[in-house]
Structure 1
Amino acid sequence: MDPVTATPLSTWRFPGTLRTYQAEVLERLAPGGAGPLHIVAPPGSGKTLLGLLLAAREGHRTLVLSPTVTIRQQWVRTAGALAPQAAAVSDDPARIGDLTALTYQLLSVTGDGSPFDDLARSVWVEELTASGRVEADAATWLAELAIDNPGRYRSGIRTRSRRLRSHFARRRPAELARVLHPNAVALIDRLVAAGVRTVVLDECHHLLDHWAIVVAYLAGRIRESGVEPLLIGLTATLPSPDDETEFENYSQLLGEVDYEVPTPAVVKEGHLAPYRDHVMFTEPTPAEAGFIRRHEALLHEMITRVLSTPDAVSYLEHQLQPAEDSDGEGTPLARLDRAFSADFPLTRSCAVVLREVAPRHPLVAAIPPVLLERCTTDDLLTVLSRFAQVRLLSDPAAARQWEYVRRSLADFGYSLTDRGIRRGRNPVESTLAFSAAKDHAAVEILRRELDGDDGDRVRAVVVTDFVEHGNNRGLSGDAPAGALRTFDLLAVDDATAALRPVLLTSGHLRVRADDAVDLARALAELIGEPVEVAAGIGPVRDLEVRGVGSGRLVGAVSELIRRGDVRLLVGTRGLLGEGWDCPAVNTLIDLTTVATSSGTQQLRGRTLRLDPDWPEKVAHNWSVVCLIPSDVDLDDSSEPARLRRRHSHLWGLSADGDGRIVSGLGHALPTAVAEAWERVLDKDTSTSIGDLDALLREQWPTRSSTRSEWRIGERYEPREREVVAVRRAPRAPLLRTGQAAGAGAVGAFVAGTAGVGGLVGVLMASGADVAPLLWAALALGGGAAAAGVSSLRMLARLPRDRRRPAGIYRAAAIAVARTLHDADRIGPVDDAMIVARADDADPTRIRIELGGSAHDARVIADAVEELFAPVRTPRFLLRIDAAGLPRLRLLERLADRLSPGRTLLAVPRLIARRRGDAERFCEHWQALIGTCTLHELTGVQGLALLRIARSADDRIDAAEPRARVWG
């Protein structure tokens, strides 16, 4: 157990040259600091070397934990190159070296369930003991409760487990040890006794429930030894925050990210291959389309049948015409006003639903036409949910109808509970996510890739979620989705068959029948074991290998891909995701439903490795999206939302070819395609899904042009900012108006009066004969002249604001940022980090760029985007007066001619939650831009304002999606 050297790792040296971002991490993160180090860097960016250098400068014995044996060995090799003595590095838990590399699994917890359940049970026993029970009696009572009343027992365990999850890292090591295997506890004790003080956590996004407890216990034991441990977390991707509890476990251990190496930086320095993200849009197959149309009709019919009953129509009447008092008096218009004041969104949905189920009802004629939009699926579900809660659930006599609605919705993937309707993955979502059309899209993508200038270099991988999906969506005779179905299609197509495709999963190794003998021989040579061709008929054959793990098979197939004997691999993300390394692969076709940051970036990372056999390698990463055609009225946002989420995590070249590196759909969809896509989603039948594909084909760049556009080796500025693109509204541009002008005129009047009065006073003191009345007239005249000059100066600024509006939009963003800071939503605001620029090529487009803290910039950008987005149903509207100059009708008319009409903007939701915050926003707007008035959207007056607001020109630039920009 004695240290191999007196000062562990202190003599370790790296003889090479550090990459720019590696040197910056070492410079920015000083040694000996308090708290953990948390670094995010993409695959291939040199995280292993960076982690070793961070550990070496601390001068303590170090433990490295990795998720796989392959990654562990990579640490051992790299550490061995730095260490002056080979004995300083160990991967043997029985021999602790200066640096010991182990896997997380070696220290894993026991049991099939959550370790927090075991901790929760212990806490429950402690609580019972504290209340006076003997510990043995308390444990016996709990065991009996688990049998006699399992529901109550599970509820108690869940409650305590949730509480433990929120602060488990602060539990005493002795408590955590209860859920660890005794061998793991013993090993951790040996590590601590040997002097381990630094713990490097590779691929630390795995630190969720089980492994997080192990690390928490290890860190706690080191603290008990009298020193503070240093945790160094390294990952290519952060875990998804979708599971808030697991993400909280992770963040408790490692805290905020200290440094993130963006993928573009690694590409520009030449350590990852340049790449391009592509999208192919497709639509369901005829059989699937028929299923969707039946689903649409059945769902619509079921809901309208329920909402057409007298009881439901009575509910709609009550929502639209609430009684004024106990006598039920009041005009219909006044009642409608109260309904919209009480719950605007629900009342609007009730209005469109009433027109749908009872179009000749007298109330329909009284509803303002601005509200009578298309009745969407969401409107129907919103009203059905509220009706079921208010009228059915509360009435014992309606129990059978409640049960009918509940069961009917379940058939469509919805769950009706006492909390409302919850959306699960309904059959339409499953049909789109696993559509057979996506398999055909994969064939078309590969055909296009092979037709390109570098077609002979294509090495592709097609990744699916499953080998076979268990749900065939109720379509009889339809093959289940998954890798097997995809491979069967790729194996028989003439173009893709020439790539000699291989299917590889944990239980299948399948090839084309024509390739079976040759590939079996090649694999046998690589793995040193016999490979047999299974008997069968048809175009494909299974290869059988006994006694060989999946890791060796993956390695052998990867070698065949490198040699070009196989140019297409089909598999699941479980096998071909994290940890798979095949630098020859340059084309990814992603048929999975993955949209999380970790899953998305891990998949993309498979194609970005440099290929020694193709120094000019460029990677293509494809997403396939199945959309409901415009002529089908059913709404489904699952596929578009998944595409947006997936690309929000990724950096890439702007699809418009302007050289910018952006995050968001802007790096996958050119402007024209983004506009056409929105039309399809809006059910505009003038644009088809085929039109989207045609537009994409027209603007498809070659791999060589992509490589040139990345400008590898050129200097870059490693900074990020959020960008919101807006367009000037010709009929109501933003201008500095109102209060600013009024204040300026008043100030000028006071200053002018005082100035002229003072000058006349000096003349009188010097002996001039000036009558008092004349003196007063001269002073007032001077003030009026000054005020007039100030007003004219203000009027002169209005045309200038129209010509150069970027400054006004910047002021609006600053008003948003200051309000969010006042509301404690973000940190301090640096106005210099907010910039607005007009596009040189299109002066009507203005880009608002927000820098500084990534979190704060994102929050501000969200609010700015809401401010200028088309108005829906906000709580508050901000009315901007284009006039607001001194109350002279002539000046008002002149100002209105320069800026016709008024403007209504939606106050962002994060600001509108509290009236005080909304009023503060109004004050900031007045100070920075000019006159404005805050209006809460209630009643008939709210309807009138909403009608005006919705008729205004859109300001958000739909042609340029929201993005982050790097560099």
Structure 2
Amino acid sequence: MQFRGVWRDYQARVLAEMDDHLVNGRLHIVAAPGAGKTILGLEIIRRLGRRTVVFAPTVAIRDQWAERVGSMFLDAPPSAEDLSHHLTAPRALTLVTYQALDAFRRSDDIDSLVQDLNAAGPITLVLDEAHHLRREWWTSIKQLAASLADVRIVALTATPPYDASFAEWTRYESLCGPIDLEVGIPELVRNGDLCPHQDHVILSAPTTDALTLLDERRRAIWGLQRDLWSDEDLLDEIERHPWLRRPEDHVEAILEAPEMLSSALVLLVAAGRRPPPAALKLLGVSGRDLPNPSLLWLERFLDGVAGGHAGPFRLTDGRLKVLRDQLHRLGLIEGGRVRLRETRPIFQMMASNLAKLESVAEIARAEHGTLGSGLRMVVLSDHIRSSELPADAQAEFRPSKLGVIPIFEHLRRTGPAPDVMGVLTGTLVIIPRAALSRLCELAADQGIDRAAVRSFDLSACPGHVRVELSGVGGARLVRLVTTLFTSGSIQILVGTQSLLGEGWDAPALNSLVLASNTASFMLSNQMRGRAIRVEADNPAKVANIWHLATLEPPAKGVVAEVVDLVNWGHLRDEAPAGLSDGALLSRRFRAFEGISNGASTLIESGIGRLGLDFTQDLGLANDRAFAAAADRQDTARRWSESLGAGGGRARVRETAAPNYAPQRLAWSDTLRALVWSALSAGAFAISDVVQDLDGTEAAGALGMLVASAAALASLPGLAKAARLAWRNGSVEGSLEQVGMVVLLALVRAGLASEADGRDGRFEVKASLDGRRDIVLRGVSRSTERQVMQAIAEVLGPVQNARYILMRHSRLGWRTRTDYHPLPSALGARKDWAEGFAALWSARVGSSRLVYTRTPEGRRVLLRARAKSLAAGFQRSVDRRSAWL
């Protein structure tokens, strides 16, 4: 093997650094689609010089390895003596799927496989698209790797499972190793290996039927809440509950569900009752600190007392039965849980809203108007819905759900180019009748018998035919239709994200519509990756990626009262939660970085970069999106400017964006030291005056001596206070110090390297949504991720931390108490926690470390969590990525 091309600069960087990262026997590379991971993997295999088994998730991706090794590294295709596709007959290079290995494990034949591989000597395992290794396949690879005598593992992926649970990520990283090298989308755009692009969101309102259901549900909830507020017997029962009358006797139970006590208090206050003082005292809050009544708190109360998993806050059996019957009758219990805010049926109704069909058609008309015959659009959906195709051309078209066929038929009837449309899925392929002869020619060129191409008329679509390729794998038909799409015989292709979302390659694609409900990091990046590949014959290519969302319109009349009262709300910030199209978009946009729609040159993840206002008129928002999408030259220009702002050594970095910084801690220390200093100076001055009076010389001298001693004693505190004020004198300074405390504590605990502690430095930059992004430079990728996770825990809401930092400070005549949970990684050991607390006191401000697993500590934790749940300011930390 010998590479026949020229290495791109980032590929050369990976190859130059690979030996340093292979010390632990693992090489974990993350590179965006289009970075040439397969060619890079083959060169790594060549340099390691070992027999190699490459695992891939699909046969199509497996075959790409065979094609690349023949075209890019050898004079002729490899022979059967050198390359194998079977684990039972391994060769110098063996290319197989993960399913093949899993079959060995399930049949208990993996031991014989291990014996054969060990007999052949040192071996390399390449895990292509390693993000698939999260469950059964992970088990198979882990068992194989652990049984091999001398193995090195190379993991390649474009989309590591950042959104996986902590347990899943830990398993993934234990196999692949920490991420060693990462090549992001901005770097590939800068190098010309991906094209400039922009994401656009098109909004729609629910259909009339959906609005009727939503209105009925709102009215039901409003009636329920009104009944609860006026039910004196229920309110009396809540007031008599032991948690409210004798809360000190039930601290452990309350701590298991502190939101239940808070929600009961919120309900009482909303109904005009006074909250019991004993409960407020236990929580460490006053009545005015309680949250305002909202749908969130009503749901928590009802689920806690009447849901299928009702907790220890018990009502009488008679009251409980009446309440449950009422909730069932109103349809407010789903899966045994009370659901007032979001439910899966409503989410599915909104996500599959048929109004999105017209959104797709509007996008197609706009893009066709801009690009004309140069349009190459793909629309991806989750389901095919073959049964939705009408029986004949004159039949009324009334689809019931969103899917491939409903989108295709709506575009065929109302779209801009019905004669150049097609469908490509794993089980259904439709092409224009005019393209059938061209398909047959392409099949003949590939040695496929003309008789293998079978076509079937569609009575509902006279200008189209359904095609099959008998006796040949489905992958061959996909390649033929892809060629028709690339050449322009098909300009708009509707398909499923499962077929076209990973591995499919059509560089001509310049407009992608995601009519899919996926929000996962992996699938979102894979789908977008299809559109942003460069096209050799079109160096000026700019791609548009379109996202669809359905939002509830403002309520009117009586229903508006419940919306205002319980804060039903629309998407009002960058990170909505729960089941909704807005929440789905927010999660999806965390998965990739892009340029802003405004003047900013910052490239970062998150939907905030688009400058959307989901509360404005939908038509105006859509008009702005269409106008921005039409100006592709401006998109290219803004990419060029934004990439230049990144600097020569820029890369994608993980950031933390908190909405809170602990400045008051430093200022409290400063003010206290200044007060002592001022008092001692004042005492010195008074003593000086007294000394000059007749008969008081001795008292004055003694006073001056005491004041001088006090002044000297206050100097260390004043010096520390001055140092804290200098470091924490701004939001940026405060956040930098929090970051340094986290990093140094991890280094001292042995969880990060000494080099990371020596070279790491923090920057705080203004983000596109007004927050500050904390950026860490000079450390490894794994340390960066660990530090950002720890910062998110320290500055975020209190959950169930083992240790808490507690600080009391005066604010006028009131005492303010602030809490900071220690990161879980540092709370695992007492000495690590104490080291963190010492660093915090030295760099941020004096605080007391509290262990929350003692009786007193449990009370502190309860108050901290109650404060975290209180009304007003809510702490949050967004984890993002940015090109810096």
Mark yes or no: TM-score above 0.5: yes
**Contact 1:904 / 1:948 at 8 angstroms: preserved in 2?**
no
Find the partner of 1:345 among 226, 243, 259.
259
C-alpha deviations, 1:592-637, integer Å up to 9, x for none? 1222222111111111222122111122222222222343735654
- Separation in structure 2 between the aligned mates of residue 647 and residue 262 of structure 1, nearest angstrom: 15
Whole-Å separation in 2 of the counterparts to 1:923 and 1:382: 40
Match of 1:467 in 2: 384
The one-letter amino acid of 2:107's match is L
2:413 maps to 1:492? yes
Letter in 2 for 1:485: P
Pair 479,52 (structure 1): closer, same or farther in 2 beyond 3 Å = same
- Structure 2 CA distance for partners of 1:345 and 1:956, relative to 1, 3 Å: closer
Say whether 1:200 aligns with 2:126. Answer: yes
| TM value normalised by structure 1 | 0.69
Amino acid aligned to 2:648? Y
Alpha-carbon contact 1:867-1:906 (below 8 Å) kept: no
Aligned residues: 808
Q: Deviations over 1:3-27 (max 9, x none)?
A: xxxxxxxxx3224322222222222
Query: Structure 1 residues 392-401 or 266-275, which shifts more?
Result: 392-401
Counterpart CA distance in 2 for 1:246 and 1:540 is 49
Is 1:564 matched with 2:488? yes
- Give CA deviations for 1:536-567 in whole Å, capped at 9, x if unaligned: 14677542435154322221221122112211
Whichever residue aligns with residue 214 of structure 2, its letter is I
Judged with a 3 Å threshold, the aligned counterparts in structure 2 of structure 1 residues 656 and 738 are, in CA distance, closer, same or farther, namely same
Q: Indicate yes or no: 2:459 matched with 1:536.
A: yes
Partner of 1:703: 632
| Mapping 1:76-91, distance limit 5 Å | 76-80=66-70, 81-83=72-74, 86-87=78-79, 89-91=82-84
Question: SS state of the match for residue 551, structure 1?
Answer: helix
**Match status 1:519 vs 2:451:** no
RMSD: 5.4
Q: How does 1:134-145 map to 2 (within 5 A)?
A: none
**Which residue of structure 2 lines up, in the alignment, with residue 717 of structure 1?**
649
Alignment of 1:273 onto 2:273: no
Q: Residue 663 of structure 1 aligns to which amino acid in structure 2?
A: S
Q: Deviations for 1:845-876, whole angstroms, at most 9, x for unmatched residues?
A: 75533344556545655665677789999998
Aligned equivalent of 1:109:
103
Going from structure 1 to structure 2, the CA distance change for 1:882 and 1:701 (only over 3 Å counts) comes to: farther
Residues 306 and 320, structure 2, Cα contact 8 Å, conserved in 1: no
Q: Displacement, 1:443?
A: 2.0
Which residue of the other structure, out of 151, 168, 173, is the alignment partner of 1:229?
151
Give the structure 2 partner of residue 503 of structure 1.
Answer: 423
Q: Distance in 1 between matches of 2:132 and 2:717?
A: 64
Deviations 1:681-724 (A, max 9, x none): xxxxxx45455445655766832222233339976314444445
Q: State the structure with bigger RCO (CA 8 A, min sep 6), 1 or 2.
A: 2
How far has the Cα of 1:921 moved from its partner? 7.2
Out of 910-919 and 313-322, give the one that drifted further: 910-919
| Structure 1 partner of 2:732 | 806
1:379 to 298, 301, 311: 298
In the alignment, what sits opposite 1:163? none
Classify the secondary structure of the residue corresponding to 1:438.
Answer: helix
Q: Which among 739, 744, 747 is matched to residue 669 of structure 2?
A: 739
The SS at the match of 1:484 is helix
What's the CA shift string for 1:305-359, capped at 9, x where partnerless?
689878754542234873349xxxxxxxx99999999965323312333466xx3
Matches within 5 A, 1:824-903: 830=757, 833-837=760-764, 847-851=773-777, 852-854=779-781, 857=784, 861=788, 881=809
User: What is the Cα deviation at residue 66 of structure 1?
Assistant: 2.8
Q: Deviation at 1:462? A: 0.7
Q: Which stretch of the first structure deviates more once superposed, 830-839 or 862-871?
A: 862-871
- Opposite residue 649 of structure 2, the aligned amino acid is E
Q: Is contact 1:834–1:848 with CA below 8 Å preserved after alignment?
A: no
Please give the per-residue CA displacement for 1:167-216, whole angstroms capped at 9, x wherever unaligned: xxxxxxxxx5xx3376x877776555455722223223333555445544
Aligned to 1:415: 335
* Contact in 1 for aligned 2:673/2:714 (Cα 8 Å): no
Q: Distance in 2 between matches of 1:102 and 1:339?
A: 54
Quote the residue 1:586 is aligned against: 510
1:316 and 2:238 matched: yes
Please name the residue that 1:552 is paired with: 476
Q: Secondary structure at the match of 1:570?
A: strand
Q: Note closer, same or farther for the CA distance 1:859–1:54 as it changes in structure 2 (3 Å cut).
A: closer
Residue in structure 1 matched with residue 374 of structure 2 by the alignment: 457
Which amino acid counterpart does residue 202 of structure 1 have in structure 2? D
Q: Identity of counterpart residues, as a percentage?
A: 26
Aligned pair in 2 of structure 1 residues 598, 343: CA closer, same or farther (>3 Å)? Answer: closer
1:643 lines up with 2:591 in the alignment: no
Indicate the residue corresponding to 1:55 in structure 2: 45
Q: Secondary structure at the match of 1:495?
A: coil
The reply to whether residue 428 of structure 1 matches residue 346 of structure 2 is yes
- The Cα of 1:585 is off from its aligned counterpart by 0.6
The aligned residue for residue 575 of structure 1 is 499
AA aligned to 1:198 is: T
Between the aligned partners of 1:394 and 1:336, the Cα distance in structure 2 is 16
Match of 2:287 among 360, 364, 368: 368
Moved more, 301-310 or 587-596: 301-310
- 1:907 match: secondary structure: strand
Per-residue deviation, residues 390-421 of structure 1 (Å, max 9, x unmatched): 68999888896698479668x5562228xx98
Counterpart of 1:927 in structure 2 is 842
DSSP-derived class of the 1:29 partner: helix
Deviation at 1:914, TM superposition (A): 10
Partner of 1:664: 606
* Correspondence for 2:528: 604
**Structure 2 residue ranges without an equivalent (≥5):** 281-285, 389-396, 445-449, 570-577, 684-696, 851-856
Q: Distance in 2 between matches of 1:841 and 1:210?
A: 40
Q: Post-superposition shift, 1:467?
A: 1.0
How far did residue 219 of structure 1 move?
3.8
The 3-state SS of whatever aligns with 1:40 is strand
Of stretches 772-781 and 279-288 in structure 1, the one that deviates more from structure 2 is: 772-781
SS across alignment from 2:262: helix
Q: Does 1:180 align with 2:180?
A: no
CA–CA distance in 2 between the matches of 1:807 and 1:558?
A: 54
CA distance in structure 2 between the aligned counterparts of 1:379 and 1:879, rounded to whole angstroms: 32
Contact 2:602 2:768 in 1 (8 A): no
Q: What CA deviation, in whole Å up to 9, does each residue of 1:462-519 have, x standing for no partner?
A: 1111113999xxxx97612211112221112243537x221222332335xxxx4313
User: Could you tell me how far apart the structure 2 residues matched to 1:909 and 1:691 are?
Assistant: 45
TM-score, structure 2 normalization: 0.75
Maintained 8 Å contact 1:108/1:211: yes
Alpha-carbon shift at residue 788 of structure 1 (Å): 10
Q: Structure 1 residue 480 and structure 2 residue 480: aligned?
A: no
Partner residue, 1:907: 820
Q: Deviations over 1:758-807 (max 9, x none)?
A: xxxxxxxxxxxxx9999988877766888999999999999999986532
Alignment of 1:19-98 (within 5 A): 19-30=8-19, 33-80=23-70, 81-83=72-74, 86-87=78-79, 89-91=82-84, 93=86, 96-98=90-92
Distance 2:91 2:716 in 1: 79
- Which ranges of structure 1 fall in alignment gaps of 5 or more residues? 1-11, 111-175, 326-333, 681-686, 754-770, 884-895
Q: 2-side partners of 1:369 and 1:251: how far apart?
A: 47
Question: Secondary structure of the equivalent of 1:717?
Answer: coil
SS at match of 1:555: helix
Shift of 1:460: 1.1
Do the aligned partners of 1:740 and 1:927 also contact (CA within 8 Å) in 2?
no
Q: Partner of 1:440: helix, strand, or coil?
A: helix
CA offset at residue 835 of structure 1?
A: 3.1
CA separation in 2, counterparts of 1:656 and 1:519?
A: 42
